Amino acid sequence: MAVKIRLQRHGKKNFAFFHIVVADSRSPRDGRFIEQLGSYNPNTNPATIVLDSEKALAWLNVGAQPSLVCRRILSYEGVLLRKHLQGGVAKGALTQEQADAKWNAWKAQRDAKVAAKVDGLAKDAEAKVKAAAAEERKVNAARAEELAKKAAKLAEEQAAAKAEAEAEAAAEEAPAEAAEPAAE
């Protein structure tokens, strides 16, 4: 029986997540499986991977073949590196302590890279929020300036209208006063 390590699709349309399973290669994609090794959620940034690396290593050692995506996931998690280092220990090329030291150094470097990416994403999001707030302040200042100009223009128009009304009232009163003495 050919055994594969592959993904099993779950979730809803356009928002899938996957279980990492060991299955017979003849079984359907979402069908029967032998063992579940973990899960993979590509919807988060960075993608969330939960994997039992000991079980995955055990299945690789007995001949399970990973699919292309699972091979990338196993490589990302360091399972393939551990398998490679265990092969070196079996051949006598290095000791178990040396292999463990190499794997721990690689794991620390990878964890630092992931943490840097998460920090970078957080800083980018914060910078976007600050930029949006600055843009909003600029737009609000422009609106306030425009409203102030409109208010000043309206005040000028009202003052001009009032002055014009007073001038008309004074002009109407002057001819009336001039007409009254002539009538006497």
Q: What pLDDT sits at residue 132?
A: 92
Q: What class, spelled out in words, does domain 3-94 have in CATH?
A: alpha beta
Mean pLDDT of 27-42: 90
Task: State the distance between the two ends of the chain, measured CA to CA, in whole angstroms.
Answer: 131
Whether the bond into 46 is cis, omega within 30 of 0: yes
Distance between CA 18 and CA 4 in Å, rounded?
15
Choose between 19 and 168: higher pLDDT.
Answer: 19
Band (175; pLDDT cuts 50, 70, 90): low
Indicate the range of 46-55, 87-96, 118-127, 169-178 predicted with least confidence: 169-178
Q: What single DSSP character describes residue 47?
A: P
- Predicted TM-score (pTM) of this structure: 0.67
Q: Assess contact for 19 and 38: CB atoms under 8 A.
A: yes
Q: Assess contact for 96 and 87: CB atoms under 8 A.
A: no
Q: What is the mean pLDDT of the chain?
A: 89
